Amino acid sequence: MEGVDKEKVQKVIYEMSKGSKYFENEQRKEAITKQKVEHLRAQRAKLTDNDISHFQKVAENKILELEASRDLSKIWLHTDMDAFYAAVEILENPSLKGKPLAVGSMSMIATASYEARKFGVRAAMPGFIGCRLCPDLVFVRPNFERYSYYSELTRKVFQRYDPNFVATSLDEAYLNITKVCIDRGITVEEAATELRSAIHQETGLTCSAGVAPNRMIAKVCSDINKPNGQFVLPNDREAVTTFVSTLPIRKIGGIGKVTEQLLHQVLGISTCQEMLQKAAFLCALFSESSADFFLSVGLGLGGTDTPEHTQRKSMSCERTFRATDDCSLLFEKLDNLAENLADDMQKECLKGRTLTLKLKTASFEVRTRATTTQNYINSKEDILIYARKLLKAELPLSLRLMGLRMSHLRDEKDSSAQTQKTLDIFFRSYDNTNDNGANGPSITNTSGGDNYYTNALTEVNYVEHDAGTVDSTDHQSFFLLEENLFVPEGRNSDRCSIDVSSSNPCICDGLGGKELDEDTSSSKGTDTVKFDGHLTIYNATTSSSKPDQHLWIDDYICSLCGFELPPGFEEERQEHSDFHLAEKLQQEEAVDSTGPLSKDRLAERPCSTTPTSKKLKSSKEVKHIPIDAFFDKLNKNL
């Protein structure tokens, strides 16, 4: 962003977006953040000297425990392709080289070439704003098949360095290069240089790499010498702690705009190391899981073991459309969603017992309504029985998004489930006869956030099924899951010596009775899929049959792009979902030949392949210009 006239960019964006629904919603969110800040400040003011010295001890113990888990024996490399979509397009059409290029549409830009970025044009920005900032901006429509193709080529290279590499999006992956360095007697610098040049050789594209003792830091490092560069942080404690001492917290995956504001405005924290200085307050004001995460960040700790294949815990699909209050249209969309969900569940031989309906109103308010079913279900008809009830209770309402999510899953392939199958048949007949009766499903409502359940619902006793998995009510332990990329392995909430939540009531923020970092079921989706022996975090183009499916894999990785956002950061998650919503529309527009791009702006495509997408069906119904989440990205970059 050097050399960009930030003030001018901000002014143009402000002028062009003010008055929009996005803008109003943004203001509403800001007001909520302000409220949270005020509340936390009040909580902080209430802490007595005794409280503070108590939490100082809690924090010291935690830090000792975390420090003891530090593992410096692994070398992680994070790679990220440079201006990925734009670079692919330039490769395919060299006449675009050197031009300010945007991949996307007038509604939304997916990425911009570095030449265009100099004008302030960037990802998630509506194209019409891009044009205002850079009058010579050239557009290319996205071609996802092409990006998948090049992504596959990079993965073949990754395979040579770490057969268990973890791909987190089309253009990003984590590689444990410890073994390859030892086996071949090469330094980590050599490994990184070699890998980058192999990628260049195989694809003609450049990438950047970061090397560090854990994934969290490796990701930060890959951004340091971008584009076409690398940065290696030595595997020693001092190097890591020095590195984080001045590192702005926002650089850490999982710390979004809201968290950044809370930490800064309530505790004056801007750098990672300041987390340690304010450790007592973090323990006093935040949930144990969040405090653990923050302290890990302060110590520069992050995931070091290769994440294991974990069992899927939820399945969902959602759909965006032009805002409508037409009931028959809404029920029709619900029907489609139920069909999609049923298809997916049946393909994976899964049945579930908790169905959640997610709604986004015309004014961007998100509501969720959940219901528990008597039996495990996965047919469209069964899903619809419950889904229709949930939706009916909300109408009349103007909606722009609907989603269905099934959790409390059971694998039908699992032989231990066979007995239950028999019971299912029993329950099915029970359900059919009691559909409208007093024994119908229990319904739990939440609104204003992306909260899929309340504890009341999750406490309904399915202990038998949940044994061995993390229960929805157990949000305290989420940051401690071994699979978590951010948190050192081997940590477990049982090992925490002091239970902060019971020792002091002030960890609740009191806003709507919710704990500040309260977890919700959107973060329970553990959807990790193993392909070809290595772990692939799946994304829209490579492995999901429903490109509009949005899940949080392993509770922190976005299934669509690999962005990492730990549980508890619900607002950031919401913003992130909004971003995909916008992205999706952009894709839909890309397959709509009647798009608004004028011919002279649209770069010629040398060998165009039209993406085959189910979304073709819906391209007509999507007309509004979504600029959600754009400001989030913008604020981060400015």
Give the binding site for ligand DCP (CB under 6 A). Answer: 80-85, 110-111, 123-124, 171, 226-227, 579, 583
| Contact region with Ca ion (CB under 5 A), list: 73-81, 297-305, 520-528, 549-557 | 73-81
**92 contact, one of Ca ion, ligand DCP, none, CB 5-8 Å limit per kind:** none
Question: Do 256 and 571 meet the contact criterion of CB atoms below 8 Å apart?
Answer: yes
Q: Which two tokens stand for residue 55?
A: 């939490």
| Contact region with Ca ion (CB under 5 A), list: 165-173, 253-261, 389-397, 413-421 | 165-173
CA distances in angstroms from 553 to 313, 382, 563, listed in the order given: 9, 26, 10
**283 contact, one of ligand DCP, Ca ion, none, CB 5-8 Å limit per kind:** none
Question: Do 59 and 295 meet the contact criterion of CB atoms below 8 Å apart?
Answer: yes
Single out the catalytic residue among 172, 518, 570, 588: 172
How near is the Cβ of 310 to ligand DCP at its closest, in Å? Answer: 25
**509 contact, one of Ca ion, ligand DCP, none, CB 5-8 Å limit per kind:** none
Nearer to ligand DCP, 144 or 479 (CB): 144
d(CA 357, CA 338): 10
The reply to whether 115 sits near Ca ion by the rule CB under 5 A is no
DSSP 248: B
Question: Do 362 and 323 meet the contact criterion of CB atoms below 8 Å apart?
Answer: yes
**Cβ-Cβ contacts under 8 Å for 336 (sequence gap 6 or more):** 319
**Cβ-Cβ contacts under 8 Å for 135 (sequence gap 6 or more):** none
**3-class DSSP state of 359:** strand
**286 contact, one of ligand DCP, Ca ion, none, CB 5-8 Å limit per kind:** none
Encoded one letter per residue, x for contact with Ca ion by CB under 5 A and - for no contact, window 121-160 reads ----------------------------------------
Q: Minimal CA–CA distance to 592: which of 568, 573, 618, 566?
A: 618
How near is the Cβ of 513 to Ca ion at its closest, in Å? Answer: 37
Question: Do 320 and 622 meet the contact criterion of CB atoms below 8 Å apart?
Answer: yes
d(CA 542, CA 613): 12
How near is the Cβ of 142 to ligand DCP at its closest, in Å? Answer: 7
**124 contact, one of ligand DCP, Ca ion, none, CB 5-8 Å limit per kind:** ligand DCP
Nearer to ligand DCP, 85 or 556 (CB): 85
Nearer to ligand DCP, 85 or 119 (CB): 85
The reply to whether 171 sits near Ca ion by the rule CB under 5 A is yes
**583 contact, one of ligand DCP, Ca ion, none, CB 5-8 Å limit per kind:** ligand DCP
| Contact region with Ca ion (CB under 5 A), list: 53-61, 163-171, 430-438, 457-465 | 163-171
Nearer to ligand DCP, 17 or 473 (CB): 17
Nearer to ligand DCP, 87 or 330 (CB): 87
Query: Nearest 5°: phi and psi at 350?
Result: -115, 145
Residue bearing tokens 């997408």: 613
How near is the Cβ of 262 to ligand DCP at its closest, in Å? Answer: 24
How near is the Cβ of 198 to ligand DCP at its closest, in Å? Answer: 19
How near is the Cβ of 93 to ligand DCP at its closest, in Å? Answer: 16
CA angle 228, 234, 235 (to 5 degrees): 130
d(CA 190, CA 333): 53
| Contact region with Ca ion (CB under 5 A), list: 2-10, 80-88, 299-307, 583-591 | 80-88
How near is the Cβ of 627 to ligand DCP at its closest, in Å? Answer: 12
| Contact region with Ca ion (CB under 5 A), list: 50-58, 77-85, 371-379, 551-559 | 77-85
**248 contact, one of Ca ion, ligand DCP, none, CB 5-8 Å limit per kind:** none
| Contact region with Ca ion (CB under 5 A), list: 164-172, 356-364, 564-572, 616-624 | 164-172
Classify 533 in phi/psi space as left (phi over 0), alpha (psi -120 to 50) or beta: left
**123 contact, one of ligand DCP, Ca ion, none, CB 5-8 Å limit per kind:** ligand DCP
b/e per residue, 493-502, with b = 16+ CB within 10 A?
beebebebee
Q: Minimal CA–CA distance to 84: which of 192, 228, 300, 254?
A: 228
How near is the Cβ of 139 to ligand DCP at its closest, in Å? Answer: 14
Beta bridge mates, 237: none
Size of site (CB under 5 A) for Ca ion? 5
**3-class DSSP state of 300:** coil
DSSP letters spanning 333-348: HHHHHHHHHHHHHHHT
Nearer to ligand DCP, 445 or 637 (CB): 637
How near is the Cβ of 586 to Ca ion at its closest, in Å? Answer: 17
Nearer to Ca ion, 83 or 481 (CB): 83
The reply to whether 172 sits near Ca ion by the rule CB under 5 A is yes
194 is catalytic: no
| Contact region with Ca ion (CB under 5 A), list: 75-83, 272-280, 408-416, 487-495 | 75-83
Taking CB atoms within 8 Å and a gap of at least 24, the contacts of 527-530 are 527/312, 527/313, 527/314, 527/315, 527/551, 527/553, 527/554, 527/559, 528/307, 528/309, 528/310, 528/312, 528/483, 528/553, 528/554, 530/309
Nearer to ligand DCP, 149 or 426 (CB): 149
Q: Which two tokens stand for residue 500?
A: 């902060």
d(CA 584, CA 622): 10
Encoded one letter per residue, x for contact with Ca ion by CB under 5 A and - for no contact, window 229-268 reads ----------------------------------------
How near is the Cβ of 74 to ligand DCP at its closest, in Å? Answer: 24
The reply to whether 81 sits near Ca ion by the rule CB under 5 A is yes
d(CA 79, CA 89): 20
Nearer to Ca ion, 84 or 538 (CB): 84
| Contact region with Ca ion (CB under 5 A), list: 10-18, 72-80, 230-238, 281-289 | 72-80
What is the rounded (10 degree) CA torsion for 310, 316, 319, 325? -150
Nearer to ligand DCP, 222 or 306 (CB): 222
d(CA 618, CA 604): 26
**Cβ-Cβ contacts under 8 Å for 554 (sequence gap 6 or more):** 307, 310, 481, 483, 484, 485, 526, 527, 528, 537
Kindly tell me which residue out of 22, 76, 80, 615 binds Ca ion, with binding defined by CB under 5 A.
Answer: 80
Q: Minimal CA–CA distance to 594: which of 612, 579, 616?
A: 616
DSSP letters spanning 175-220: EE-HHHHHHHT--HHHHHHHHHHHHHHHHS--EEEEEESSHHHHHH
Q: Within a 10 A sphere around the Cβ of 462, how many other Cβ atoms?
A: 15
Nearer to ligand DCP, 254 or 298 (CB): 254
d(CA 392, CA 412): 31
Tell me which residues touch Ca ion (CB under 5 A): 80-81, 84, 171-172
Positions marked active-site: 172
